[in-house]
Amino acid sequence: MLELSFRPGANQRHYISEKNLSLGELCILKLLRLLKDCPRGSLVLIDELELALHPMAQVALLRYLDDIARDKALTVIVSTHSATLIKQANANRLLLLQDNGEGQIVCQDRCFP
């Protein structure tokens, strides 16, 4: 059983069971653990980062990914369908992958809406 502890106030301590966490929260905990243990300079691929997360949590996670990528010299590639994440991302770092109708996937930059 997973047990987490955190301090929401000066001397308060709460214990939380994984049974009280949402699927999104459990996925984020797993991702954060993997990122913490990831060797410096690694390539990290994340499919549908937004899965089961509230839009505000998506933004917070994206900012955290930027920070940890910078600190650990990680290359992070994220796939998403989230308009929230797309709007928050640096436009120069967005790529759109599309089927060109001829059985090929083409990569388009400068795709920011």
Tell me the CATH number at 80.
3.40.50.300
Sequence-ordered list of residues with C-beta below 8 angstroms from that of 99, at least 6 positions apart, any chain: 105, 106
Supply φ then ψ for residue 74, to 5 degrees: -90, 150
Identify the pLDDT of residue 9: 54
3-state secondary structure of 63: helix
pTM, 2 dp? 0.74
Q: Which domain holds residue 26?
A: 3-109
Query: Among all chains, which residue has been given the structure tokens 């992958």?
Result: 97
Q: Domain count of the chain?
A: 1
Range scoring the smallest mean pLDDT among 14-28, 61-75, 83-97? 14-28
Cα–Cα–Cα angle for 16, 71, 22, nearest 5°?
25
Nearest to 61, CA basis, from 85, 37, 97, 87: 85
